[in-house]
Amino acid sequence: MTSEPTQQQRLAKQQLVTESLLGIDFLPASNNDNIEDKGPVISTSSESGGSGSERAALLAVLQKRVEKEFPLCQSLAEATQPVFGEGDPDARLMFIGEAPGAEEDRTGRPFVGAAGKKLGQMIESMGLAREDVYIANILKARPPENRTPTLEEIEASAPYLREQIKIIQPAAIVTLGNPSTKFILQTKEGITRLRGRWASWEDEDLQVPVMPTFHPAYLLRNYTKETRNQVWSDLQKVMELLGLKTN
């Protein structure tokens, strides 16, 4: 009979994944990028948001609505199927990206291409599995040629994303890249200025801390020591907020 891995074994695996995530020369951000105080923890009402099964049921209903109204607007008519989102309906951590790509359009799942593999490594470096978090995009359908979403397309998909957040009620959100960060924070500032700084998503009585960071695709294109340390700094701040062990 195989025994459950010990805490030490799990931490060792986390360290190995962290090192392989962004290269063996990827150093803890405390040596390169000072981790600012996260400030007061913004409260959420997740404790009263219903059980995981209730949230799963609500998400299933919402997904049916997306499928019925797909592709949501005419400019997304080339998409073959909706990419709703996936993960733990009771997740404490939610990742939000921009839009599905070709592989996501083919499979109907978010972040399954090269950027998705890198995101998976980022999640594992935090000591979590992909199944522990919830992953979604602003757009629920692939834009032609993977171009940047238009304002009309964002407005068509936005109500569904807002509803996903309200159902899941995560303890924290990580926005990946410019479009998702600008949408969630309702700002015109770019990701370079916003990354690493806690902000907040608010809707009625729900407030969720938001940590903007670079999109995994950008990370792959700019695979420098500086960029890798910046991303790790951002993830460490999220881990600290959630009470996860940092290396």
Per-residue pLDDT of 158-193, as tens digits, reads 999 999 999 999 999 999 999 999 999 999 999 999
Sheet containing 93-97: order of strands: 86-87, 134-137, 93-97, 172-176, 206-213, 199-203
Q: Which domains does the chain have, with CATH numbers?
A: 45-242 (3.40.470.10)
pLDDT in tens, 2-27: 444 555 555 555 555 555 554 533 33
pLDDT computed for residue 107 by the predictor: 97
DSSP string covering 76-106, please?
A: GTT--S----EE-TT-SEEEEES---HHHHH
Token representation of residue 14: 């986390």
pLDDT at 11: 55
Rounded CA-CA distance 113/33 in Å is 29
Q: What are the CA-CA distances from residue 20 to residues 27, 28, 95 (Å)?
A: 11, 13, 21
Note if the pTM is more than 0.85. no
Task: Please state whether beta strands 172-176 and 86-87 pair in parallel, antiparallel, or not at all (unpaired).
Answer: unpaired
Cβ neighbours of 217 (radius 10 Å): 21
Per-residue pLDDT tens digits for 26-83: 333 333 333 344 343 433 334 445 777 899 999 999 999 999 999 999 999 999 999 9
